[in-house]
Structure formats: structure tokens, C-alpha cells
Amino acid sequence: MENEQLDMTENKALELIENMILSAKREIHDNGFYFMLWGYLVFISALIDYFLLVQTYPKHATIWAITMPLGGVISIIKGFKDKKSQRVVTYVDEVMRHVIIAYGISLFLVCLVMPMTSKNWQSFYPVLMVIYAFSLYAIGGIVKFKPLQFGAFSIWAMAVVSFFMSYDIQLLILALGVLTGFIIPGHLMNIRFKKNV
């Protein structure tokens, strides 16, 4: 009888460990998706904004009003689907949730308030890049994925340079920043996920 209980306890423990590993793998894969989604949306938006700006199109920034809500809708839908299939919530899941919520609130406030104040408009993209880098560095540390942290350092460096550049050049630097901080690490996460599955 005791051997049966011990076997049952060992089986439950192994099942729990297996579920936690699968959850962590899924988290890495999903983060790769979100990094690529937002990286590509910001990359494309920054380049389109730049192109329209140099063509002196008066509503050059309209692209952001299209792509950012689109990214939000896609993220919400994917988030709900992922939540339904998630069987185990780990400590890493909880920490990531809090970091992402703090990142989202910070980003929302900056995007809402800074454009309303004309004196700070020139610093808008550099400040966004600082927020991007902060979240990338934190998430990279949480999931132990160095490319995110390297991407964070590259974005921080580009943010510093952007503070001294004109708006049009800031758009190009922003595109380069999301390429190094979001898109490349997102693809590397997917490659790592596929190797580990």
C-alpha cells in the first residue's frame, strides 16, 4: 500500500515538473510571437512614417493609429487563446505578467500624454525606446534569454543618440532599435523553441 502511494506521489511530482517545463517552453515561444508581432508593426510603421514625412505628406503619422490598435487586438485575441490552453501558472508567468502590465501602462501613459505637450514632442521616440529597453532587459533576465538583454542595451544606446537627432532620423533609429531588440530576438526565441520541442 505504501509503495502504491509513493508511486502515485512520484507520478504526480513528475507530472507537475513536466507541466512546468511545458509551460516555460510555451511562455518562451509565445513571447517570441509577441516580440515579432510588435517589432514588425513598429518597424513598418516607423519606416512608413519616415517615408511619408520626407514626402511632406501632412498626415504622415496616421500609420501609427492603424497599426498599434491592430497589434493590440491581435495581442488580446492571442492572449485569451493562450490563457485557455495554459494548464499551469508558474512563478515566472506571474512575474512576466506584472512586468508586461507595468510596461503597458507606462507605454500607454507616454503615448497619451507626451503628444499633448508640444515641448516634449521631440523626445517622444527616445523616451519610448527607453521604456522598450527596460522591459526587454527585465524580460530577458526573467526568461534567461541574453539576446533580449543585448537588444535592450542596443536600444538604450540608440535612445541616447535619438535625443540629439531630428524627428525624421529618430524614426529610422527607432526602426533599427526594434529590429535589434524585438525582431531578431523574437526569431531567435522561435528557433530555440523549435529545437527544444
The stretch 1-18 carries a mean pLDDT of 60
Q: What type of residue is 70?
A: L
> Rounded to an integer, what distance in angstroms lies between the CA atom of residue 164 and that of residue 71?
29
State pTM to two decimals: 0.81
Q: Is residue 191 predicted with pLDDT exceeding 70? A: yes
Arithmetic mean of pLDDT, 81-91? 75
Alpha-carbon gap, residue 182 to 154, rounded angstroms: 11
Compute the distance between CA of residue 83 and CA of residue 64 in angstroms, rounded to an integer: 28
